[in-house]
Amino acid sequence: MKVIKIDKNQWTQGVDAARKSYQLFGPVKIKENYCFAPLQGTQQPDMNVVDTVLSPKSAVFPQTEKLLSATLDASKPAHHLMKRADTDYSPRAVIGIRPFDARAIDLVKLNFDTKEYRDPYWCDAHDATTFVGLAVNTPSQFDFSTSMGSGPFDEKGLDVLLVDTDSAYLAKVITEKGQAFMACAGFDQEATPDDVQKIEALKKTAEQAITTKVDTDNLKEKSLLDLHQAPFWDDVAFSCINCGTCTFVCPTCWCFDIQDETKGNDTIRFRNWDSCMSPLFTLHGSGHNPRGEKTQRVRQRFMHKLKYFLDKYDQGTMCVGCGRCVKSCPVNIDIREVCNLMNAYEPQK
Amino acid sequence: MESYTEQIRTLAVDLLKSGKVDVVIGYRKGSVPMATVPFMARTPEQAKQLTWDSHCTLNLANYLTNRQEKIGIIAKGCDSRNIVNHIVENKINRDQLHIIGVPCKGMVNPKELQALLDDKIVSYSESGSTLTIASSQAEIKIEREDHLRDNCSLCTHRNPVIYDDLVGEVVTEPVLDDPFKDVNAIEAMDTDTKWNYFDDLLDGCIRCYACRNACPLCYCPTCFVDESDPQWVGKGQNETDIKTFHFLRAFHCAGRCTDCGACEAACPMDIHVRAFTRKLIKDSKELFGWEAGLDISKRPPLDTFAPDDPNDFIK
């Protein structure tokens, strides 16, 4: 694998060069918090951000996304017929995405791009995107990615992995997409073997800095029904206020709701992030709600992340250990504790 | 506030042992420094997990809505006022409750504490009015009073207004020179400035509804934003729809909001939603001489009618 050395003095220039061919997304400060957002004008990504409140999933899965549109004007051709929205899928790049977030996008792909169905909106956006990751040298106290099949230097889902060595970025070029981005940015100085060794040392230090260990080894063999009927769900759910914070900040929560809106003769169909924490999420037209109780909804979220997904795809849990939900939950419901509870659960015979 | 913890545990254990209540609702310690978790103890053993510190920022009245058991509940000033609201609005019976009142010394703003250190806070403790926070690099001691949440620094009802047991001694209620300085500043803005202020205020809202769900007043079986037939509000990230949610939610809280700050404590995006409810608190006071949640025998001004109303238009 090719490793390129980028002197930090050259970084801004390279980002500006890439901007000519890519729509760039990166971590930026919005009021008091950092989020991933499209970079405006000459705006630079803030590469020193430890953690963003929201994950970069919106780069391929916007919170509100136009899918279809139609005109209701009967004098126009093809009126009342929905056609695909005119979305821009020209190349885009997410700069500074953290390895666990790229891993998350890889997991989400299992859902949006299957043998039976291909979600054209998500997949086209994903195909258009180059993920230029930034390794996590100093993991936050909420980071437990090493327990969840990822890690601070994980390369899965990335096209380039940047490693910050103070004066320079060392860029591991992982895919052809990554190669094309680096060429476009004008980064072409090959790193020396000494530089490459630095990456390994930083990686080791970062992995050791993550002290939270979450156990997932038994989840696969546990009976789904046993876990579903486990007695701890009421206690786990008691404090939950059923807001959507955990699902919205989560890099792997992919559920959405579809809405139609009409103004005059213009009608659009769009989707919004939805949340399994909301009772409305599962309310049937008949009035019946299979997850009408809070405990059922809280259980659903953890079972989906840590059991159903694992059983269905056999690609690990659908939690990458970013720790955002632990940090943002208003009532401190901690997925690490819930995962350990599930992993250790033995039904009373 | 450490001593509060011991007293709360003793009272809760006794209540559960004697069978006076079925459960006690309070807080337990969270999994990360400075976090507390609303918690329901069902047994005397579980009641030993109850705790009290300067981070009990949510409002426990939120956990009472329509419950059927006999409940012991820990209540600081604002929780007690929302319990009064709940009783007045028939969301819980007074007879069902055994209220363990806690004279409050104010809750602190965890983000402000975090900003005092370069690295993440890894440990936290408090002793009397002194709080100790530490990162892996440094440890500092600070005074609670200097880092109160905005709503706590404006609070004049720190003592519970209704209780069956009181933990500790009543505290002196602060007297504020200008309690609505913040609201006055917004009122003084010209129309454009005011509009821009609210635009900027709501920038970043992700409509997770944490503010609504943390609010003890927001117990409607179906919130107006969740209605689908008719659908009152669009559900996307449209600015007008976001504003509609916040404006209408605030108006639903008029004459009922106790400024407990649970909305802002819950917001993941640090949106100052109290800017709306504070104005309504001021109006309630000026127009009706009303402060929410002080008396279980009085209904809030916007859901009552008096034949001797001074305004002609209503007669």
Taking the domains of chain B in order of start, what are their residue ranges?
A: 2-107+148-303, 108-147
Whole-angstrom CA distances from A152 to A8, A105, A169 are 21, 15, 15
Classify residue A47: in a domain, yes or no.
Answer: yes
| Alpha helices, DSSP H, located in chain A | 8-19, 99-112, 120-128, 176-185, 193-209, 224-228, 233-238, 245-249, 294-303, 309-313, 324-328, 335-344
DSSP letter string over B68-105? -S-EEEEE-HHHHHHHHHHHHTTSS-GGGEEEEE----
- Dist. CA B147–CA A290, nearest whole Å: 45
Asked if A281 contacts A244 with a C-beta cutoff of 8 angstroms, the reply is: no
State residue B1's pLDDT score: 46
Which of A66, A271, A331, A339 to mutate to test binding with chain B, by most B CBs within 10 Å of its CB?
Answer: A331
Same structural domain, A104 and A20: yes
**Residues sharing a CB contact under 8 Å with residue B85, sequence separation 6 or more, in sequence order:** B61, B91, B216, B217, B256, B258, B292, B293, B300
In this predicted structure, what is the pLDDT of residue B315?
Answer: 65
Residues B177, A243: Cα–Cα separation, whole Å: 37
Per-residue confidence (pLDDT) for residue A33, from 0 to 100: 87
Q: How high does pLDDT run on average in chain B?
A: 95
Whether the CB-CB separation of A242 and A294 falls below 8 Å is answered with yes
Provide the residue range defining the domain that includes A43. 2-63+86-209
| Whether residue A24 sits in one domain with residue A144 | yes
Q: Does A193 reside within a domain? A: yes
Interchain CB distance below 8 Å, B235 and A257: yes
* Residue in A closest to B223 by C-alpha: A280
Given pLDDT bands bounded at 50, 70 and 90, which one contains residue A230? very high
Per CB-CB distance under 8 Å, the chain B contacts of A334 are: 30-32
Question: Which whole number is the average pLDDT over B190-203?
Answer: 96
- Report the phi/psi class of residue A82: left, alpha or beta, with left for phi > 0 and alpha for psi in -120 to 50: beta
The C-alpha atoms of residue A68 and residue A59 are separated, in whole angstroms, by 19
Percent of chain A exceeding pLDDT 70 equals: 100
Task: Tell whether A116 and A202 lie within a shared domain.
Answer: yes
Contact A184, A18 (CB under 8 A): yes
pLDDT digit string (tens) for A56-112? 999 999 999 999 999 999 999 999 999 999 999 999 999 999 999 999 999 999 999
Q: Which residues 55-74 of A are in CB contact (within 8 Å) with B?
A: 63-64
Overall average pLDDT of the B212-239 stretch: 93
Which chain A residues contact residue B36 at CB under 8 A?
Answer: 332
Verify that A205 and A235 share a domain, yes or no: no
- Which two three-digit tokens encode residue B50? 């109850």
User: Given an 8 Å threshold on Cβ–Cβ distance, is B31 in contact with A337?
Assistant: yes
Locate the chain A residue with the closest alpha carbon to B268: A328
Is A217 part of any domain?
A: no
In a domain, A177, yes or no: yes
Q: Are strands A266-273 and A256-263 parallel, antiparallel or unpaired?
A: antiparallel
Q: pLDDT tens digits for A287-320?
A: 999 999 999 999 999 999 999 999 999 999 999 9
- Residue A286: inside a domain: yes
Whether A188 maps to a domain, the answer reads yes
**Are A22 and A157 contained in the same domain?**
yes
Q: What is the pLDDT of residues B82-140, one digit of tens each?
A: 999 999 999 999 999 999 999 999 999 999 999 999 888 889 999 999 999 999 899 99
Confidence of residue A283 (pLDDT cuts 50, 70, 90): very high
- Mean pLDDT value across chain A: 96
In whole angstroms, what is the distance from residue A99 CA to residue A158 CA?
Answer: 7
CA B83 to chain centre: 11
- Contact (Cβ atoms closer than 8 angstroms) between residue A157 and residue A102: yes
pLDDT in tens, A180-213: 999 999 999 999 999 999 999 999 999 999 999 9
Positive/negative CA dihedral, B201, B206, B207, B209: negative
How does DSSP assign B168-207, residue by residue? SPPPPPP--S-TTHHHHHHHTS-HHHHHHHHHHHHTT---
Chain B residues in contact with A54 by the CB 8 A cut-off are: 206
What value, to the nearest 5°, has the Cα angle with vertex B218 and ends A246 and A283?
Answer: 60
Convert the pLDDT of each residue in A127-174 to its tens digit: 999 999 999 999 988 999 999 999 999 999 999 999 999 999 999 999
Q: Which residue, among A33, A52, A233, A243, would best test binding to B if mutated, counting the most B CBs under 10 Å from its CB?
A: A243
Average pLDDT over every residue of B28-40: 95
CB-based contact, A239 to chain B, within 8 Å = yes
From chain A, pick out residues whose CB is under 8 angstroms from the CB of B265.
Answer: 330
pLDDT mean over A277-282? 94
Assess contact for B104 and B81: CB atoms under 8 A.
no
Interchain CB distance below 8 Å, B266 and A270: no
Q: State whether A145 and A287 are in the same domain.
A: no
Nearest by CB to B208, from A244, A261, A334: name it.
A244
Q: Is the pLDDT of residue B199 over 80?
A: yes
pLDDT at position B311 is: 80
In a domain, A76, yes or no: no
SS3 state at A59: helix
Q: Helix, strand, coil proportions of chain A in percent (round to 5)?
A: 35, 20, 45
Give yes or no: residues A317 and A281 share one domain: yes
* Closest-CA residue of chain A to B200: A31
Closest by CA to B79, choosing from B147, B152, B161, is B161
Q: Residue B65, Cβ neighbours under 10 Å: how many?
A: 13
Is the pLDDT confidence value at B63 over 90? yes
Mean pLDDT of B4-18: 97
Which ipTM was obtained for this model?
Answer: 0.93
pLDDT of residue B51: 97
Both A301 and A335 in one domain: the answer is: yes
Q: Look at chain A and report how many structural domains it folds into.
A: 2
Shortest distance, CA A27 to any CA of chain B (angstroms): 14
The yes-or-no verdict on residue B215 having pLDDT over 60 is yes
- Is residue A70 situated within a structural domain? no
- Looking at residue B2, its pLDDT comes to 52
Contacts for B287-292: CB closer than 8 Å, 24+ residues apart: B288/B255, B290/B255, B291/B157, B292/B81, B292/B85, B292/B255, B292/B256, B292/B257, B292/B258
Residues A309 and A247 both lie in one domain = yes
Mean pLDDT over B162-173 rounds to 96
Shortest Cα–Cα distance, A178 to chain B (Å): 31
pLDDT score of B309 more than 90: no
Q: Work out the minimum CA distance from B296 to partner chain A, whole angstroms.
A: 26
Examine the domain organization and report whether A23 and A152 are in the same domain: yes
B266 → closest Cβ in A243, A257, A270: A243
- Statement to judge: residues A157 and A235 lie in one domain: no
Span A327-346, pLDDT tens digits? 999 999 999 999 999 999 99
Tell me: do A231 and A197 sit in the same domain: no
